[in-house]
Amino acid sequence: MPDTHALVSDFLNKLKKRKIEGSKAAAKLTAELLRTVISQQRLPNTNQAAALIHAIKAIGEQLTAANPVELAVGNIVRRVLHIIREEDLSLTTASIGGLNLQALSDDEDNVDRDDQPVLSAAAVAAAARSTLRPPALQTLIEDVSHSAAIHHSSSSAGDSEEKTKSTDKNSRSRKLKHNVIETVNELIEDIATCHESIAEQAVEHIHHNEVILTLGSSGTVIEFLCAAKEKKRSFRVFVAEGAPRYQGHTLAKELVARGLQTTVITDSAVFAMISRVNMVIVGAHAVMANGGVIAPVGLNMVALAAQRHAVPFVVLAGIHKLCPLYPHNPEVLLNELKSPSELLDFGEFSDCMDFGTGTGSPLLQVVNPAFDYVPPKLVSLFITDTGGHNPSYMYRLIADYYSANDLVLQQRPTS
């Protein structure tokens, strides 16, 4: 216990100090931390799931409070809570009515992965809730998208393994914890491979001799573009440098290293260049439930330019970036103001900040927001690791991955 405590506080500290860069890293670390917490959590004999949910919620609250801007952390906490609920449900179902099912699975160890959960899920859905069971939808999606071959096989292997184990143990002791950890492992695996599963869809979207525009830098975008390049597509990339952090420069270097035709432009030249562009492909910080995007600053401008010239605006987002919240107040709640030193050199401007002269109030203010909000109507397509989606479809995906009970992690609602 003290061990997990130390781990949690360490992670909290890192979040607070803004030491974790990027939502993918944050998501991965959160999932790993929660896995450790779950495995070390002592559970009472009765109502294990509730105890586990309570413990995770308590930690989740702290984590989201430590860096409210990093939405991926909250997303993962909610995912894990959802996993616990689901596993609990399937276990209870199995123990209540699933004797015949159990016999079936006992007989045949290598049950078809898809069938069994669907069966049990259907039973549960009928019995317990009216909401659709996620595994069913997930299979649906996976069928629709022609992608995720590796992901599919790997997860299915894990799943079937887990299922056999779970059914084995079900019959003896209800090892909720074990199941949850297995599923969290899958989640971690998903996060780790999200780039690849998104990149696999690249060939479908990028065609020969096209011009792609992107802004700033995103790991997902690099992978996506390179995947298309590897498939012998020849195309040109315009990179808007992405002031004030100029990550576009690093992206350009990376792309050139991989042999892509690259053009670097300033952010302000986006509108001038957009008429030559066939498609805008960008990364995101978070995707909200309404299909709006929290993205690096400057992207709203790009999206507007794209809309003006009817250029498709495609957002790449790993599934951990899917946030079940609505952006009611994006400027205040979901943005972060960074240091002005990214814009100005302090030394050059220090005489403008001499408060001894004049009225004593600062005349110079530098605002350096990290994110933009791109409304859903400007987004043409989301590409997640489960395939391409329309912005209006996001709420469905979210209902799939999160349970409504977990949307509010805080005990007291945020103002």
What is the closest distance, in whole angstroms, from the C-beta atom of residue 199 to other proteins in the complex? 32
Can you list the pairs that 154-162 forms with residues at least 24 positions away whose Cβ atoms lie under 8 Å?
154/189, 154/193, 155/186, 155/189, 155/190, 156/113, 156/114, 158/182, 158/185, 158/186, 158/189, 159/113, 159/186, 160/110, 160/111, 160/113, 162/186
Count of other CB atoms within 10 angstroms of residue 181: 19
CB of 291 to other proteins, least distance (A): 26
Our CA dihedral for 120, 122, 126, 128, rounded to 10 degrees, sits at 50
What is the 8-class DSSP label of residue 329?
S
Nearer to other proteins, 107 or 345 (CB): 345
Q: Which is nearer to other proteins, 19 or 396 (CB)?
A: 19
Smallest distance, other proteins to C-beta of residue 72, A: 18
The identity of residue 81, as a single letter, is L
3-state secondary structure of 336: coil
Q: Which is nearer to other proteins, 6 or 103 (CB)?
A: 6
The minimum distance between CB 410 and other proteins, in angstroms, equals: 11
CB of 282 to other proteins, least distance (A): 25
Q: Rounded to whole angstroms, how far apart are CA atoms 104 and 165?
A: 14
- Choice between 45 and 361, CB closer to other proteins: 361
Check whether the bond before 413 is cis (ω within 30° of 0).
no
Q: Which is nearer to other proteins, 104 or 366 (CB)?
A: 366
Q: The tokens 């297995």 sit on which residue? A: 182
User: Quick one: 67 or 90, whose CB is closer to other proteins?
Assistant: 67
- Nearer to other proteins (CB atom), residue 296 or residue 376: 296
**Binding residues for other proteins, per CB under 8 A?**
6, 9-10, 13, 16-19, 65, 331-332, 337-342, 345-348, 350-351, 353-362, 365-366, 368, 415
| C-alpha distance across the termini of the chain, in Å | 33
Contact 294, 284 (CB under 8 A): yes
Helices (H), 173-298: 176-199, 202-205, 219-230, 247-257, 270-273
Beta carbon of residue 408, minimum distance to other proteins (angstroms, whole number): 16
Number of C-beta neighbours around residue 339 at 10 A: 11
Coil, helix or strand at residue 358:
coil
The CB-of-8 to other proteins minimum distance in angstroms stands at 11
Closer of 310 and 332 to other proteins (Cβ): 332
Query: Smallest gap, in angstroms, from Cβ of residue 10 to other proteins?
Result: 6
